[in-house]
Structure 1
Amino acid sequence: MKIDHIAIAVNDVESAAKQYQQALGVDNVVFETVESEGVKLAILKLENGRIELMEPTRDDSPIRKFLDKKGEGLHHMALATDNIENEFQRMEGCGVQFLGKIRNGSEGTKITFIHPKSLSGVLAELCSHPKSH
């Protein structure tokens, strides 16, 4: 397993992407909307991982609830695995609690979220990229 990305909740993904691009010297930003999660993403690819800026696209989005409660800031860290199904079963067997089942995320990735209670108060995403990624 490795750290895949850090996700940051923002009110305006276009504006935040410009800030991050300038501050980090990143040229390549990919924008994507994930309707099932109710978010618009700006994905900044760094040498050793990614930063995902997330803006809610609807009022029932978990990101809208996060922003209303806590404001902009760090939302979760993502951990990548080659086999999310096996890792999900292994972690459940260790008592790790998940927030839902495995589902589709951005760029064809399979995702699920680990309940913060299982990782000392930190929300974590478990993800598995398509083999061509």
Structure 2
Amino acid sequence: MSCKGLGKVVQIAIVVRNIDEALENWSKLLGIEKPKVIVTEEWEKTKMMFRGEPSRGRAKLAFINMENIVIELIEPIDGPSTWRDFLEKHGQGIHHIAFVVENADECAKYLEGFGGFKEQEGFFRNGKYIYVNTVNGLGAIIELLQYFSK
């Protein structure tokens, strides 16, 4: 078994305490206009699962589009989530690296062979995501992004 799409990192995500402050600093550092902040949708749309249980965990997100990669800033705001857990245990920092894959569920199973387990998963407009915790095997949380045809 393999996973199509693991050849190119598309995103690095950083969990922050205050997204407005973090955006101010990143924008100043990079000399860019501040990107807009969005809030993840309610459970009824995301069907978010955290460690196998439904969760109303939500977050504020901002995406900084670089030449070669996207930097995502994440501020947890409601309920249990991998983002809140990370912030409480480690403070601010790099949470995951992301890949766009053809089949997120198949890739999550593939990553089990590297000590991975599904930490969180859910849906977003035109797609789904799965965070696979491979910290013990690979030293990182991997996000698998799958986009659906429109």
The TM-score by the shorter chain falls in which range? 0.7 to 0.9
8 Å Cα contact 1:13/1:53 also seen in 2:
yes
Report the CA distance shift for 1:125/1:119 in structure 2 as closer, same or farther (over 3 A): farther
Distance, in Å, in 1 between the alignment partners of 2:17 and 2:114 is 35
Counterpart CA distance in 1 for 2:114 and 2:137 is 11
TM-score (norm 2): 0.71
SS at the partner of 2:10?
strand
The equivalent residue for 2:71 is 51
**What's the counterpart of residue 73 of structure 1?**
93
Could you list the per-position Cα deviations for residues 61-101 of structure 1 after superposition, in whole angstroms to 9, with x for gaps in the alignment? Answer: 33222112111111111111244355345x16856633167
1:30 positional shift:
3.4
More helix by share: 1
Q: Larger relative CO (CA 8 A, sep 6+): 1 or 2? A: 2
What is the deviation of 1:26? Answer: 2.7
Name the SS of the counterpart of 1:3 in structure 2.
coil
DSSP-derived class of the 1:29 partner? coil
Partner of 2:134: 116
Residues 17 and 108 (structure 1 numbering): CA distance in 2 closer, same or farther, change over 3 Å? Answer: farther
> Which of 22, 28, 52 lines up with 1:22 in the alignment?
28
Residue type of the alignment partner of 1:66: F
Give the conservation status (yes or no) of the 8 Å contact 2:58–2:81: yes
Partner AA of 2:95 in structure 1: H
> Aligned residues: percent identity?
27
Q: Residue 38 of structure 1 aligns with which residue?
A: 58
What is the alpha-carbon distance in structure 2 between the residues aligned to residue 64 and residue 93 of structure 1? 23
Report if aligned partners of 1:26, 1:46 keep a CA contact under 8 Å in 2. Answer: no
Gaps of 5+ in 2: 43-47, 49-56
5+ long unaligned stretches in structure 1: none
3-state SS of paired residue (1:7): strand
**1:130 and 1:32, CA in 2 relative to 1: closer, same or farther beyond 3 A?**
farther
Please give the alpha-carbon distance, in whole angstroms, between the structure 1 residues aligned to 2:120 and 2:21: 32
Instruction: Tell me which residue corresponds to 2:45.
Output: none
Deviates more, 1:35-44 or 1:72-81: 35-44
Cα deviation digits, residues 34-83 of structure 1 (max 9, x gap): 24442110111112121111111125233222112111111111111244
Q: 1:125 to 1:93 in 2, by over 3 A?
A: closer
Deviation at 1:119, TM superposition (A): 4.1
